[in-house]
Amino acid sequence: MLNDLIARVAAAAGIDEALAGKAIGMILGFMQKEAPGPAGEMLQQMPGATELIAASQGGGGMMGMMGGMMGGGIMGLGAQLMGAGLDMGQMQTVGRELFAHGRETVGEEAMGKVVAAIPGLSQFI
């Protein structure tokens, strides 16, 4: 199921599947950290999500390190995604595709809880 999502995100954002998988893992990891309850429920319904999160940890170059130094939040995530090689348009495309997949997989209500729990997230999806 996540392989289909990775292919969908890669095609939509014009990036390779390795970068798409890393970006998805970073975003899911961010959601898990920032909203453990609602995101945990969502991740339980997405087989392979925790493995994707684990695989996306580390690396990210200087921008990723800056994101970590910024203390997290949506701006820290943005810096980490930039460090991984995404531009702003690609970040928005990845976010939109990931959340569309989430709505299809776990439903609008579950995704709404995650978005409501993380300040600033709604502007990226």
Rounded CA separation 121/75 (Å): 10
Q: How confident is the model over 18-50, as pLDDT tens digits?
A: 999 999 999 999 999 999 999 998 899 898 999
Q: Scanning the structure block, which residue is given the tokens 């990891």? A: 29
Q: How confident is the model over 65-107, as pLDDT tens digits?
A: 444 444 568 889 999 999 999 999 999 999 999 999 999 989 9
- The one-letter amino acid at 49: A
Rounded CA separation 74/118 (Å): 8
Rounded CA separation 23/41 (Å): 20
Tokens of 54: 């684990």
Tokens of 109: 């209500």
The residues near 96 (Cβ < 8 Å, ≥ 6 apart) are 12, 125
Contact at 8 Å (CB) between 60 and 67? yes
pLDDT at 21: 97
**Range of lowest pLDDT (5-9, 27-31, 96-100, 121-125):** 121-125
Residue 60 confidence (pLDDT) above 70: no
